């Protein structure tokens, strides 16, 4: 099984990106893109279609079990986890294209700087003022929100998100839902205020995040619950 792998590469954050194509004969269709990258990096003599050496491809991984979100990248133009993208789904097209996310600063090759995800959580004050306890009313919501991998796939497809913008996207409102819905009345006022400013006001409700989420989180459910507590109940009181 012959397949062409095209990889968008970039030596440093300041250098110019370029594409490098590798033609391989694969014996196993059940390999994942993550496994493919590991095999390419394990072969020191591998060359591209122009006969040039292929240096080590930089990419991130940790669990390789769809639990950490570290290996997120663009695969044939779509945000995916490399550990959850199987070659059998791409070989019929004869080409697999790998690229870093376009909305985040590139560090090297397929690695991007996603620190904005965590900085935004700090910015909206997504931390506890006091202890909260799970109840029958918020257990399911808390569990659903805790499944977020912070991979950034949702932000890559979101038409309203860009790094440095005022809208923080699903990577912020999903974790925020866990605290907002579990807080007692009058608590986490800072989080609710920032939620209104950086999430509610900027969300266009396209729900592209729901379609792309590798964890399958019910985004519209999360959004409606957090909106109800952080926005609509506060407006009704006023």
Q: What is the pLDDT of residue 234?
A: 61
Check if the beta carbon of residue 128 is closer than 8 Å to that of residue 108: no
Instruction: Note whether 93 and 156 are same-domain residues.
Output: no
Mark out the alpha helices in the chain (DSSP H runs). 33-42, 115-123, 139-146, 153-157, 170-180, 189-195, 208-212, 219-227, 233-237
- The tens digit of pLDDT for each residue in 67-103 reads 999 999 999 999 999 999 999 888 777 789 999 999 9
- For residues 27 and 63, membership in a common domain is answered with yes
Decide if pLDDT at 231 tops 60: yes
Whether residues 119 and 206 share a domain: the answer is: yes
Residue 184 pLDDT class (50, 70, 90 cuts): confident
Give kind and range of the element (H or E) at residue 75: strand 72-75
Q: What is the CATH number of the domain that holds 204?
A: 1.10.1060.10
Q: Report the interhelical angle of 115-123 vs 170-180 (nearest 10°).
A: 40
- pLDDT beyond 60 at 216: yes
Does 124 map to a domain? yes
State pTM to two decimals. Answer: 0.91
122: in domain: yes
Using 50, 70 and 90 to split pLDDT, how confident is the model at 35?
A: very high
Q: Say what the pLDDT of residue 199 is.
A: 95
Q: What pLDDT shows up at residue 203?
A: 94
At which of 60, 85, 112 does a domain end?
Answer: 112
The mean pLDDT value for 175-184 works out to 85
Lowest model confidence (mean pLDDT) among 96-105, 133-142, 149-158, 206-215: 133-142
Question: What does pLDDT average to over the chain?
Answer: 91
Whether residue 215 is predicted with pLDDT greater than 90 in this model: the reply is yes
**Whole-angstrom Cα distance, residue 172 to residue 116?**
10
Q: Domain for residue 176, yes or no?
A: yes
The boundaries of the domain holding residue 34 are: 2-112
Q: Which of 202, 194, 187, 199 is nearest to 223 (CA)?
A: 199
On the question of pLDDT at 238 being above 70, the answer is: no
Are 54 and 148 found together in one domain?
no
Residues 197 and 131 in one domain: yes
Cα–Cα distance for residue pair 225/138, rounded to 1 Å: 10
pLDDT band of residue 39 (cuts 50, 70, 90) is very high
Q: Identify the domain boundary among 44, 77, 112.
A: 112
Last residue of some domain: 81, 112, 143? 112
């Amino acid at each position: 099984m012959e397949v062409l792998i095209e990889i968008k590469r970039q030596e440093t954050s300041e250098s110019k990106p370029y594409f490098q194509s590798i033609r391989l004969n694969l014996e196993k269709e059940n390999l994942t893109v993550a496994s493919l990258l590991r095999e390419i990096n394990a072969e020191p003599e591998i060359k591209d279609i122009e006969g040039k050496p292929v240096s080590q491809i930089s990419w991130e991984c940790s669990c390789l079990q769809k639990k950490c979100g570290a290996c997120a990248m663009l695969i044939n133009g779509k945000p995916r986890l490399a550990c959850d993208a199987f070659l059998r789904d791409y070989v019929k097209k004869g080409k697999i294209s790998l690229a870093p996310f376009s909305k985040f600063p590139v560090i090297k090759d397929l690695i991007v700087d996603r620190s904005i995800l965590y900085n935004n959580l700090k910015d909206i004050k997504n931390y506890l003022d006091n202890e909260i306890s799970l109840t029958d009313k918020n257990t399911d919501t808390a569990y659903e929100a805790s499944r977020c991998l912070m991979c950034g796939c949702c932000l890559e497809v979101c038409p309203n998100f860009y790094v440095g913008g005022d809208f923080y996207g699903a990577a912020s409102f999903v974790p925020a839902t866990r605290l907002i819905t579990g807080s007692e009345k009058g608590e986490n006022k800072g989080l609710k205020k920032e939620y209104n400013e950086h999430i509610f006001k900027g969300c266009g409700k396209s729900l592209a995040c729901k379609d792309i989420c590798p964890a399958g989180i019910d985004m519209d459910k999360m959004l409606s619950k957090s909106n109800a507590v952080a926005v609509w109940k506060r407006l009704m009181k006023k």
